[in-house]
Amino acid sequence: MFNACVIEDDPVTVSALRAALSRLGCEVAVSEGSQDGLTRLSESNRIDVAFVSLSLRSASARGVAQHIRAQHPSSKVFFVTSWDGELDRRILDAEGVSGVIRRPPRFSEVKRMLIEHLG
């Protein structure tokens, strides 16, 4: 189906996203840090969707999203956060971020986002 990349350092979130994406038929690559994730992205031929922690310890999530979009222009990037506030949609659009998913990620929300953004 789709190739997915999860760049996240919270093991509970990684597990939930991996389970949901696998259940939806995606091939899932997981990176627990941004540098490992960027290396995997550079080596990958195709990334359809990426889930990036907004609170990465070792890099800016926005910088990671920009790198993903530069390497894979057609990919959809989603930030993952436990923050309950709203992010400015204009800024997300300008940075090529398709949306935000809240922790803990729920299967129904992941499924809805994939259908909405990837078909």
Whichever domain contains 108, its CATH number is: 3.40.50.2300
What does the pLDDT average to over 6-27? Answer: 94
pLDDT for position 36: 63
Number of domains in the chain: 1
Three-class SS of residue 107?
helix
- Find the radius of gyration of the CA atoms of the chain: 13
Sole residue written with tokens 């986002």:
113
Per-residue pLDDT at 4 exceeds 70: yes
Which structural domain range is residue 76 located in?
3-118
Does 9 have pLDDT greater than 80? yes
34 pLDDT more than 60: no
Structure letter (DSSP) for residue 50: E
In this prediction, residue 63 has a pLDDT band, given cuts at 50, 70 and 90, of: confident
Q: Strands of 16-105 (E only): list them.
A: 27-31, 49-53, 76-81, 97-102
Number of CB atoms found within 10 A of residue 56's CB: 20
Is residue 82 over pLDDT 60?
yes
